[in-house]
Amino acid sequence: MTGLFGALALDRSLTSLLARWRDLSSAAGFLAQAPSTPDLAPGDLDMLAGAMRESLEARGGEVSARARAAALGQVYLKLSTLGRCRFLGLLARDFGADPRALSDAARRYLEAASTEQRAEAERALREAAEAPRVRLLTRFTSLPAGVKFLVDMRTDLLAMQGDDPVLRALDWDLRHLLATWFDVGFLELRRITWDSPASLLERLVTYEAVHEVRSWSDLKNRLDADRRVYAFFHPRMPGEPLIFVQVAFTRGIADNVQTLLDETAPVLDPRAADTAIFYSITNTQEGLRGISFGNFLIKRVVDDLGAEFPGIEVFSTLSPVPGFLRWLRRLDQGAVAQAAGLVEEDAEALAPLLAVPDWQQDPQLAEALREPLLRLCARYIAGPGAETGKEVQASAFDPVARFHLGNGARVERLNWLGDTSPKGMRQSAAIMVNYRYESGEIERNHERFAATHAVALSPAVEKLLRPVRRRRPAGLARLLQQRQPDPQPDPTAHESV
Amino acid sequence: MTGLFGALALDRSLTSLLARWRDLSSAAGFLAQAPSTPDLAPGDLDMLAGAMRESLEARGGEVSARARAAALGQVYLKLSTLGRCRFLGLLARDFGADPRALSDAARRYLEAASTEQRAEAERALREAAEAPRVRLLTRFTSLPAGVKFLVDMRTDLLAMQGDDPVLRALDWDLRHLLATWFDVGFLELRRITWDSPASLLERLVTYEAVHEVRSWSDLKNRLDADRRVYAFFHPRMPGEPLIFVQVAFTRGIADNVQTLLDETAPVLDPRAADTAIFYSITNTQEGLRGISFGNFLIKRVVDDLGAEFPGIEVFSTLSPVPGFLRWLRRLDQGAVAQAAGLVEEDAEALAPLLAVPDWQQDPQLAEALREPLLRLCARYIAGPGAETGKEVQASAFDPVARFHLGNGARVERLNWLGDTSPKGMRQSAAIMVNYRYESGEIERNHERFAATHAVALSPAVEKLLRPVRRRRPAGLARLLQQRQPDPQPDPTAHESV
Amino acid sequence: MTGLFGALALDRSLTSLLARWRDLSSAAGFLAQAPSTPDLAPGDLDMLAGAMRESLEARGGEVSARARAAALGQVYLKLSTLGRCRFLGLLARDFGADPRALSDAARRYLEAASTEQRAEAERALREAAEAPRVRLLTRFTSLPAGVKFLVDMRTDLLAMQGDDPVLRALDWDLRHLLATWFDVGFLELRRITWDSPASLLERLVTYEAVHEVRSWSDLKNRLDADRRVYAFFHPRMPGEPLIFVQVAFTRGIADNVQTLLDETAPVLDPRAADTAIFYSITNTQEGLRGISFGNFLIKRVVDDLGAEFPGIEVFSTLSPVPGFLRWLRRLDQGAVAQAAGLVEEDAEALAPLLAVPDWQQDPQLAEALREPLLRLCARYIAGPGAETGKEVQASAFDPVARFHLGNGARVERLNWLGDTSPKGMRQSAAIMVNYRYESGEIERNHERFAATHAVALSPAVEKLLRPVRRRRPAGLARLLQQRQPDPQPDPTAHESV
Amino acid sequence: MTGLFGALALDRSLTSLLARWRDLSSAAGFLAQAPSTPDLAPGDLDMLAGAMRESLEARGGEVSARARAAALGQVYLKLSTLGRCRFLGLLARDFGADPRALSDAARRYLEAASTEQRAEAERALREAAEAPRVRLLTRFTSLPAGVKFLVDMRTDLLAMQGDDPVLRALDWDLRHLLATWFDVGFLELRRITWDSPASLLERLVTYEAVHEVRSWSDLKNRLDADRRVYAFFHPRMPGEPLIFVQVAFTRGIADNVQTLLDETAPVLDPRAADTAIFYSITNTQEGLRGISFGNFLIKRVVDDLGAEFPGIEVFSTLSPVPGFLRWLRRLDQGAVAQAAGLVEEDAEALAPLLAVPDWQQDPQLAEALREPLLRLCARYIAGPGAETGKEVQASAFDPVARFHLGNGARVERLNWLGDTSPKGMRQSAAIMVNYRYESGEIERNHERFAATHAVALSPAVEKLLRPVRRRRPAGLARLLQQRQPDPQPDPTAHESV
């Protein structure tokens, strides 16, 4: 027991505390040092509750109270998942608002008669509703990496909360606190280059979620003269990008990611470019889920690039379609045939053909699949409302589409064989989408999508959505027979579609 | 009208907006340019309410909403005091929580039965209690100097709120928001030197509230090798010190401020010093009233100096006693005689003698006044409880004493003729106090003062409080006769005591 | 003796040495501490020579040799002027090239027959000609402020060398060494603003040589939004500007310095300006005499401002004419009359009228003096060659004119009452000159001035040089009688003209 | 021709020039763009000579002269090796000192009679001996990367000069110029960490000459908490380390490099270390050959580490012995036997045994070789004087030994199997040496080595040098028979020993 709670016996000096906290997070050996009860036995919980209360009461002054919070942080870091769950449960259950005070305030609010009384009662209610745990959590900010600590604590919390209303209430508080601190007005936009710290670049490699960084030379290629990487940072989490975007300068809108990631491709003079392609946007902090920066990041970068390179007239993404094939597999055959403009027979051949290994390297097959799949994907991107004219839920959209359409972009083009990596094949039959940000229509698009989920489409994409008058055989069934795909296809490969 | 609200017709680009905002705050001519209705006519208020609502609904997207907030800020800056009062009144009255939703949430909370229901209802209540205006205010952070704008807006609000519960509710929100952002964990401690930007040093000159900075050479003297100035800064208000402290290295505890501020005094090698004297602490932002940094600042500086100069063993202030003579004038003669250890006759001479111009330069007079006034001042500093043993209100203490005693310092010494400047003479008959921070007793002192307002006193100060057995004539009455003070004493001089 | 040479007993550690050197230069008390023989007795000189030799031989390794150099520097700093003269004399006399080796090398060079032999002999001669003292001086660079130390040592040397060929040879070496280090390619151009360190701004105040800075608010005015100050810095003398230029943005070419220095004048938006006026250029380091930065500084600033403010089309100085009245006093009356276009009688009245106190405030008198003095000044600025057509010495020109004409500027305009400060009245009868830098003609002007000292003049200035056909009385003699100048004019006032 | 010399048609503006120069060095395509005569035809040389002369005469002013120098630099960059050789030949031949002026100065020096005359004549001789090309070369400094350009130009020159006295004279000038600029006093010591720019770390990987960096994770391991990397930088070559040293904190003196480079080894808390091991020192700029920084770097790092970690008491290298086996192969068998303490038969088996592949993995063999090879290596390190007592040439020493012994280190220990990498096996039979820097003896060791090449040895190493009384069979011959080394050993493997 002593081992685990030894940290609670405090020095008075914040300095020595900071040093200890630093040791704690840097010393590799620390986590190995087994705490006596990493799962938190009941007795431990009582001690912990006492320590939390002491910190809240600011016993010994505010500086000491923060030192106590640091010690609690140390304990937290040493705990097992179960222990952490109990630690957070304690915070959630025992350190909410005082029920009696809050009930009184609620009653007084309900009874308030005049404007003045209501204003006063509302204020009092707000005060009574404040959870003391928020004050406790705030105390971590004075520690080095204290803000990161809270962000990571919320990552833990999100993983364990499920439907538990008590933990969800704690999560609401933590999210609210983080949202206040991580307001976009407090963030710094920084360009990341090959001259940035290696430790920062290493984080990019780790975090990049869209197109995996394969090596340091892949990374260097993404930081070349015809590229830009921008990220938002918070002053209290320096060196930790919150979100970053990768941009390529091109002539014309890029239609595939293979070329963009080709390290041997020649470097374009950015002053000769007419287009900026946003080909990867990554949120890095799970603990900031629900706090949005992407919209701001894109618009700030569009502004900055527009000012630096007047020759750039087109701002567009080259985006994955992560939900396409999952959606397609759920569609019944009739709907597939209808949307793809195929006869039934061919429509039935679609799924098995997509299970043919490396079909994208078979020119005949790829050509035959091209139009039906593009039509289907257009249908998917445009969302259910495009067909029915009815208003739909945002959750019915592809998540990437939802993000860009919500920002006011329009669907510019669908790109066949845009991403032939295993992931691209698996998610979207290699199709990628360009979402275009055109300054003259961003607000209007945003408003319409926000109000009715009406999607802005380019003429080319609209054309893909037009119903085919009379469907003729496209030969897919025949191709399937020729390819004789493995009669007992690898079930996992199929499932992975 | 167009002139005033023209700013609401928005550019889409945040960049151009930022530029305009910059112009706005830097261009000296701006405030002179009379807006059409700087007092805000009723029609103006309707338009304003509309603009606020649009920003809240984030019409056109979050970036546009922030641009709208910036335009509102421009309008605010152009308003008269009356106009600002109406602007804030609008925010306070019309942008609080939704009464219906809040009432529902209050009722549901009161009805919640299980722990789970209560947790959920508490969370919902917290959410319903949030005032939309807080979201609106938050939008200013993305503008350059937006945080400073809000701090200054609160300065306005504090000046105008009086007892108005509606405005006070707005103030509560604003203070709460600022307190979350200005948590001491987000602040940076920086040393200020003669190598700091002149623009920053100019601010020190303007803000310094304790001992006026008379000239740049006075300032330079306070930044000499045997001095230190430290300040807290917020990342979003760079160049703007929030609070600063001035420290002098000395041998022995300094007993007067004249020597400290003497530009011709020799410079001490700080490594030869045994004492650090905190001789001025100034809060600079009225708009952050009620958000405390002083305690942290002192303890951080004590830690840092202790680490840098192991030879420094004593940390003490040299502080003014702003309320002493005001308190003394209210005391009845009997109490004065009792506390000062004087016979009635001499006690009655005290006030007229303090009205003798430049009495401090009359050695005989100064010597005669010395002990009685020190005894009285000790009584004042120690607070009413020292005598009665009863618990007392914090407001009964001298404000400077309350601050340091609350931090855990002890009253170390009272210094006769410690500050003979006109202000020092007027406030405290030139007496100054050393409050000493001794690491071994800070927590204990803090706890005792927090609990019972018991004051920690050095033996020397305790001695001043001991009642005098038998009071003998001190000759003050006689001295008064000799000085024949102006039979018709300057009434203002007397009053100013 | 111990006191003075104690420093030569060395620590091995460069660190502790650096600390000592730092103490030395920062501790105010040091210079007061009288060395035993600040004039350097003969015995001292022997010890010194020994220490120099040890440092040169790098006894104990190169690090120790530098430590020894530092100790020599300490000794130097403690010496009287006489002592320093002896110290430098020792360096000059005893630490030049080895006479025997140099004679041999000279002989071998004279005997070299083939190209190869000559190349080799030239190299060997160069090597033999190197003075060991240069190596010794170089060693100071590793000390903090070591470069500044050498610059200041040269300031001493310039003051004492007179015509002494031995000291002049040392000066040649030192200047050569400094010129190599202070090549303009190693300098950094930095803008100085009100956000610059106060310690740097204080140096500007001290150094400003053209128009004295009267106060911190005068200085702040010179750093306002419609001003720019730029300076060159050397990486090893940070915080020490080598040369700085003050620029004002104006509409039209400024014709007087009173307006520019008027703190109450309104601030111009620099984007509305069409002209940049260089109104002060100051070299700060006497020890860098003969190493020129001004040309580069002006052209870099012209480039930078041109890029930042495309609206600025005219780059011009507003310059003093420091030698005008001195030159005028030496001119014989006939030449004065001729150049001024005055009859003899009026020409004779000129000098006494200029001795009338505050004549510039007498409108009638000022108007009468205007044309004759402008004509004379144009004659002075244009140089002797303008009249005679013969080639002339550069030294015949006003030093400020020589600098700007040599840079390729042209004489644009002479400004009556351009500088009515006492210094302006005393030097140039208040006349100032605009030298204009026009990018299309800079090279041509430079070449012509460099080749023949032909001066580029604007048509307006050329007109002032045209001889007056028939000279009529200008009434100066009459005005003199009316003013009845003090019959016994203050001789110093006269002399000061 | 136009293509090649087009750059000589100059803009007046330095700004545009700088931009062009920047393009030049950054644009990858530049070098591919074939100049019309990259070998420099005779006509080209005349034009080039003309351009050089114009730059020297500063035609059009100093700024233009530097622009011209930049254009010359562009031409140089485009040339082939032959063209560069001719370019440098032109500089060397035609831009030395003026022969007539130098001859005159030489004669006048030889005739000088008095001290004054000699001082003056020496100064004049120095002036006349200055090569104009030095002024031309200096002009490059104002260009971005101009200093690096000159360093690289010297790299070219060193490769092509051979014994040509004309080119060697040019090299002397260039080295002299660079030595003045790269004086250690102008360099900045910086620590390199995982937070340093990736572009800088990439350079470390490229430059590292002692123990090849195999990957970014190998590099990261060398920047871990128990490591330090320090480098010297020049202010005008930022981002370009001139020399760097890699240090490991250990307990006890490290005896092999495998452990140090093991990425999986646990990280030591540096405060628990008692020893700092310098395990790699790399000079990066061939163009700075002959300008030494290593001595300073080591001593600065020793000072800094000693101040930061008082617990570190031992500073030692772990160094390769690059010349050992080459020396051994040249030794005759008798001397080998004598030094190794072996009988003849065993001595003869040495070389073939060292040719056995991977002998170090054969424990019996490795053990048998251990003592004889350590004895031989000690003999090699100690230098020829150790045996004979005679004074010897510095060139007789191992280059690494010469460097550290010259700095004042002593030979502390020889480490068997200290570096079993292919390179370590090939150069030194895997032996490594610890050179120890002990502050108390550095100066004495340095002096003795400088004077007589006497080598400081620890008792353990001295013991290895003591002659063996009676030599007994060590069994090497027998082992050789057992191993039956390939009867026709791979001749290259043998040669590589």
CATH of the domain at C193: 3.40.630.180
Q: Which of A182-196, D68-82, D438-452 has the highest mean pLDDT?
A: A182-196
Q: Which of A319, A428, A439, A496 is catalytic?
A: A319
Q: The domain containing residue C175 runs over which residues?
A: 15-96+131-181
CATH number of domain containing D173: 1.20.140.90
**Mutate which of B25, B191, B196, B240 to disrupt the C interface (most C C-beta within 10 Å)?**
B196
Both structure tokens of D286: 């061939």
Structure confidence at residue C419 (pLDDT): 96
* Residue D390 identity (one-letter amino acid): K
Give the catalytic positions of B in this structure.
319, 404
Q: What is the largest CA-CA distance in chain C?
A: 83
Give the sheet arrangement for strand C410-415, strand by strand: C188-192, C227-233, C243-250, C275-283, C314-317, C432-437, C410-415
- Does the distance separating the beta carbons of D131 and C129 come in below 8 Å? no
Gap between the Cα atoms of B248 and D386, Å rounded: 62
CA distance C201 to chain D (A): 24
SS3 A440: coil
Q: Which band of pLDDT confidence, cut at 50, 70 and 90, is reported for residue B236?
A: very high
A6 or C245, higher pLDDT: C245
**What does DSSP say about strands B243-250 and B275-283: parallel, antiparallel, or unpaired?**
antiparallel
Looking at the DSSP bridge assignments, the partners of residue A189 are: A232
By the 10 Å C-beta count (0-12 exposed, 13-18 middle, 19+ buried), B107 is classed as middle
Does residue A496 have an active-site annotation? no
Mean pLDDT to the nearest integer, B53-78: 84
DSSP state of C197: B
Q: What is the largest CA-CA distance in chain B?
A: 84
Alpha helices in D139-164 (DSSP H): 146-161
C235 in the same domain as C294:
yes
Does any domain span residue D71? yes
Chain A nearest C-alpha distance from D198 (Å): 5
Average pLDDT over residues A120-148: 92
Candidates A147, A142, A144; CA nearest to A180 is: A147
pLDDT at C1: 34
Measured CB to CB, residues of chain A less than 8 Å from chain D are: 26-28, 194-202, 216, 220, 225, 239, 267, 269
D113 within domain boundaries:
no
> Which residues of chain D are within 8 Å of residue A201 when distances are taken between CB atoms?
198
Can you list the positions of beta strands (E) in C118-273?
188-192, 227-233, 243-250
Do B62 and B158 fall within a single domain? Answer: yes
Query: Reading across the β-sheet that carries D410-415, which strands appear in turn?
Result: D188-192, D227-233, D243-250, D275-283, D314-317, D432-437, D410-415
Best residue in A123, A130, A134, A449 for a mutation probing chain B (most B CBs within 10 Å): A123
Q: Which helix (H) or strand (E) holds D497?
A: none
Record the tokens describing residue D96, joined without a space.
Answer: 């030395």
Confidence of residue D486 (pLDDT cuts 50, 70, 90): low
**B-chain residues near C201 (CB < 8 A):** 198
Average pLDDT over residues A259-285: 92
Residue A495 lies in a domain: no
Do both A193 and A263 map to the same domain?
A: yes
Q: What crossing angle do the helices spanning B146-161 and B165-181 adopt, rounded to 10°? A: 150
Closest by alpha carbon to D160, among D95, D45, D81, D72?
A: D81
State the DSSP string of C386-442.
HHH-----GGGS-HHHHHHHHHT-EEEEEETTS--SHHHHHHHTT-EEEEEE-TTTH
Q: What is the dihedral of CA C97, C100, C105, C108, to 10 degrees?
A: 170
Query: H or E stretch including C364?
Result: helix C363-382
Q: Is A234 a catalytic residue?
A: no
pLDDT tens digits, D330-386: 999 889 999 999 999 999 999 999 999 999 999 999 999 999 999 999 999 998 776
- Would you place residue A153 in the very low, low, confident or very high pLDDT band (cuts 50, 70, 90)? very high
Per the CB < 8 Å rule, is B172 touching A115? no
Of the candidates D34, D44, D169, D39, the residue with the CA atom closest to the CA atom of residue D96: D169
Where residue B54 falls among pLDDT bands split at 50, 70, 90? Answer: confident
Q: Quick one: D344 and D442 in the same domain?
A: yes
Q: How confident is the model at residue A54 (pLDDT cuts 50, 70, 90)?
A: confident
Angle at B247 between CA B246 and CA B249, to 5 degrees: 155
Residue among C211, C234, C404, C453 flagged as catalytic: C404
B351, B473, D83 from B341: Cα distances, Å = 15, 9, 103
Domain boundary among C290, C317, C344: C317
B441 part of a folded domain: yes
Residue of D nearest to A28 (CA): D267
Does residue B58 sit within a domain? yes
Among residues C319, C395, C453, C458, the one annotated as catalytic is: C319
Same domain, B160 and B53: yes
B61 confidence band (pLDDT: 50, 70, 90) = confident
Q: Which of A197, A216, A267 sits opposite D28 (nearest CB)?
A: A267
| Mean pLDDT of the region A172-185 | 95
Residues C469 and C334 in one domain: yes
Mean pLDDT for chain A overall: 86
pLDDT tens for chain C, 497 residues long, are: 333 343 333 333 334 444 444 444 433 222 223 345 788 888 888 888 888 998 888 877 888 888 888 888 888 888 899 999 999 999 999 999 999 999 999 999 999 999 999 999 999 999 999 999 999 999 988 777 889 999 999 999 999 999 999 999 999 999 999 999 999 999 999 999 999 999 999 999 999 988 889 889 999 999 988 999 999 999 999 889 999 999 999 999 999 999 999 999 888 888 899 999 999 999 999 999 999 899 899 999 998 999 999 999 999 999 999 999 999 999 998 999 999 999 999 999 999 999 999 999 999 999 999 999 999 999 999 987 766 667 677 788 999 999 999 999 999 999 999 999 999 999 999 999 999 999 888 889 998 998 888 999 999 999 999 988 877 788 899 999 888 655 554 445 444 33
Q: Cα D270 to chain center, whole Å? A: 29
Residue D9 has a pLDDT of 36
Q: Which residue of A has its CA nearest to B405?
A: A61
Kindly state whether residues C448 and C363 are assigned to the same domain. yes
The answer to whether residues B72 and B154 belong to one domain is: yes
- Domains of chain B: total: 3
User: Are D413 and D396 contacting, i.e. CB atoms less than 8 angstroms apart?
Assistant: no
C-alpha D364 chain-centroid distance: 38
C87 and C135 in a common domain = yes
* B220 contact residues in C (CB cutoff 8 A): 198
Answer yes or no: do C356 and C438 share one domain: yes
Task: Check contact B-D (3+ Cβ pairs < 8 Å).
Answer: no
CA distances from C105 to A51, C127, C197, D130, D174 (A): 86, 9, 52, 15, 21
Place A61 in a pLDDT band, splitting at 50, 70 and 90: confident
Nearest to D9 by CA among D64, D83, D53: D64
Question: Does residue D424 sit within a domain?
Answer: yes
Predicted confidence at residue A386, as pLDDT, reads 67
Cα separation of D240 and D480, whole Å? 50
Question: Taking 70 as the threshold, does the pLDDT of residue A199 lie above it?
Answer: yes
Q: Compute the 3-state secondary structure of chain A and give helix, strand, coil in percent, each to the nearest 5.
A: 60, 10, 30
Residue B385's pLDDT is 72
Q: Which of A323-337, C60-74, D10-24, D285-299 has the lowest mean pLDDT?
A: D10-24
Q: pLDDT, tens digit, for every residue of B104-141?
A: 999 999 999 999 999 999 999 999 999 999 999 999 88
- The single-letter DSSP state of residue B396 is G
* Alpha-carbon torsion angle C70, C73, C77, C83, nearest 10: 150
Residue that finishes a domain, picked among B115, B149, B181: B181
CATH number at residue A384: 3.40.630.150
pLDDT digits (tens, 9 = 90+) for B438-465: 988 888 999 899 888 899 999 999 999 9
Q: Is the pLDDT of residue B158 over 60?
A: yes
Query: How many CB atoms are located within 10 Å of the residue D251 CB?
Result: 10
Q: Is residue D65 part of a domain?
A: yes
Q: Which of C268, C297, C317 is the last residue of a domain?
A: C317
Tokens of A134: 């928020």
Q: Evaluate whether residue A54 is within a structural domain.
A: yes
The partner residue sitting opposite C119, judged by closest CB among D12, D169, D235, is D169
Using DSSP's 3-state secondary structure scheme, residue C231 falls into strand
If asked whether residues C189 and C177 sit together in one domain, one would say: no
Average pLDDT over residues A398-427: 95
Quote the pLDDT of residue C486.
Answer: 55
Q: What is the pLDDT of residue B45?
A: 86
Best mutation site among C26, C191, C199 for testing chain B: the one with the most B CBs within 10 Å? Answer: C199
Do D374 and D426 sit in the same domain of this protein? yes
